[in-house]
Amino acid sequence: MNRLEQTWRWYGPNDPVSLQDVKQAGATGIVSALHHIPHGEIWPLGDIKERKAIIEAAGLTWSVVESVPVHEAIKTKSENAGLYIENYKQSLRNLAECGIHTVCYNFMPVLDWTRTHLDYGMTDGSKALYFNWFDLAFFDLYVLKRAGAEQDYPQAVLEEALAKSHQYTKADIDKLSENILMGIPSEKGITLEDLTQSIHVYQHIGKDGLRDNLLWFLSQIAETCEQNQIRMTIHPDDPPYPILGLPRIASDKDDFEFIIKGVDQTFNGVCFCTGSLGAGVSNNVLDIFNVVKDRIYFAHLRNVKKDVFGNFYEADHLDGDVDMYHVMKLLTAENQKREKAIPFRPDHGHQMLDDLNKVTNPGYSAIGRLRGLAELRGLELGILGS
């Protein structure tokens, strides 16, 4: 029976979680990126080779790139988008020359991910990432002060946001703003004015325009991908809703059908993220899997627990609203059809035990992910043996 490839996200030499830690966790593949290269610039061949050599010296394999960021000029299809397309294609060629062929990316405008809390307290004393609509609405209405924001929220959320406007201290507001702005990938500090300007740009593009720009991007890189055996895997929106007036185009089954059919070539694939998709109140994660299963080239496995408002925290990997047993059952069945194993990684993990006293990338402390990988590994073995 073919096993899935167990991988681990590693942020590079400055990651507080070392490659030795990764080996002890039992992963064999590394998911990494050249975060020191400014967005839109070509990834130099020498830098790719250097990172690959570091990984291989530790007895591991650089299995997936996560990610080669798509520059905002491409997402907005601005005048200089062509330059960034050419740079992107050269980065893909350089990766392929080094034997790296699976690339994860997202097409979320401005914000790569959004959480309102990075240290949500669990009942066992560990800490999780958390998204709360009331806090987001408060930020949108009373901190960002986006024009027309009140039209995007139900009355109950508006009332709770108003209550928070009388309760929050300056320290609370500063922390919330820092958490939300952390989701903006940038080499420089981002201000509220920068965010407001970016939101304004996307008001004119809208969902249909952003969808068209994604298909344009994929069509522009298609030949390069096919010639170099590159598999592009789009990551779902996180969370899978329009937020702060920004459109979302990779959030539900309809979106993924549109993406796959829009550029119906084998390079155009999906990173199946159970946490991002599972956060959608109306999403059936298993149905979405069956729509995209032939194009799943990478998987993020994590779980979420939602309430009636759609607020969610990241739960233990096997204990949340996502039916991880049946997800793993479908994933392992699909893997049996493949010549090359599908890589997956334990996506995020609770900050727990000794990691509570350490500073790590949000969601990427060692011990919580080690627990998640061990649980997922056991689940896979149980299914394969049944």
Cβ-based neighbours of 223, under 8 Å, separated by 6 or more = none
Domain ranges of the chain: 3-114+206-382
Name the token pair of 315. 């739960």
Q: Encode 198-260 in three state secondary structure.
A: HHHHHHHHHHHHHHHHHHHHHHHHHHHHHHCCCEEEECCCCCCCCECCECCCCCCHHHHHHHH
Please tell me the distance from the alpha carbon of residue 364 to that of residue 382, in angstroms, as a whole number. 26
Please tell me the distance from the alpha carbon of residue 357 to that of residue 364, in angstroms, as a whole number. 14
Per-residue pLDDT, 44? 98
Please tell me the distance from the alpha carbon of residue 386 to that of residue 382, in angstroms, as a whole number. 6
Q: What is the pTM of this model?
A: 0.96
Q: In 3-state terms, what secondary structure has residue 9?
A: strand
State the Cα angle at 282 between 290 and 118, rounded to 5°.
100
- What does each of the 386 residues of the chain score in pLDDT, given as a tens digit? 799 999 999 999 999 999 999 999 999 999 999 999 999 999 999 999 999 999 999 999 999 999 899 999 999 999 999 999 999 999 999 999 999 999 999 999 988 899 999 999 999 999 999 999 999 999 999 999 999 999 999 999 999 999 999 999 999 999 999 999 888 776 556 788 888 988 999 999 999 999 999 999 999 999 999 999 999 999 999 999 999 999 999 999 999 999 999 999 999 999 999 999 999 999 999 999 999 999 999 999 999 999 999 999 999 999 999 999 999 999 999 999 999 999 999 999 999 999 999 999 999 999 999 999 999 999 999 999 96
Cβ-based neighbours of 291, under 8 Å, separated by 6 or more = 253, 256, 257, 260
State the Cα angle at 244 between 315 and 110, rounded to 5°.
85
Supply the residues annotated as catalytic.
Answer: 235, 273, 300, 347-348, 364
CATH architecture for the domain at 3-114+206-382? Alpha-Beta Barrel (3.20)
Q: In 3-state terms, what secondary structure has residue 64?
A: strand
Comparing CA positions, the residue from 336, 100, 338, 334 lying closest to residue 232 is: 100
Per-residue pLDDT, 276? 98
Strands 102-105 and 296-301, by their bridges, are unpaired
Name the token pair of 68. 């080669």
Per-residue pLDDT, 186? 63
Helices 192-227 and 253-262: crossing angle in degrees, nearest 10, is: 50
Name the token pair of 348. 């995020």
Amino acid (1-letter code) at residue 54? I
Amino acid (1-letter code) at residue 242? P
Name the token pair of 88. 């992107």
Please tell me the distance from the alpha carbon of residue 48 to that of residue 17, in angstroms, as a whole number. 20
Per-residue pLDDT, 209? 97
Amino acid (1-letter code) at residue 197? Q
Per-residue pLDDT, 126? 98
Own/partner contacts of 34-43, CB < 8 Å, gap of 24 or more, are 35/11, 36/12, 38/187, 39/69, 39/71, 39/72, 39/185, 39/186, 39/187, 40/69, 40/71, 40/73, 40/84, 40/87, 41/87, 42/87, 42/90, 42/91, 42/94, 43/68, 43/91, 43/94, 43/95
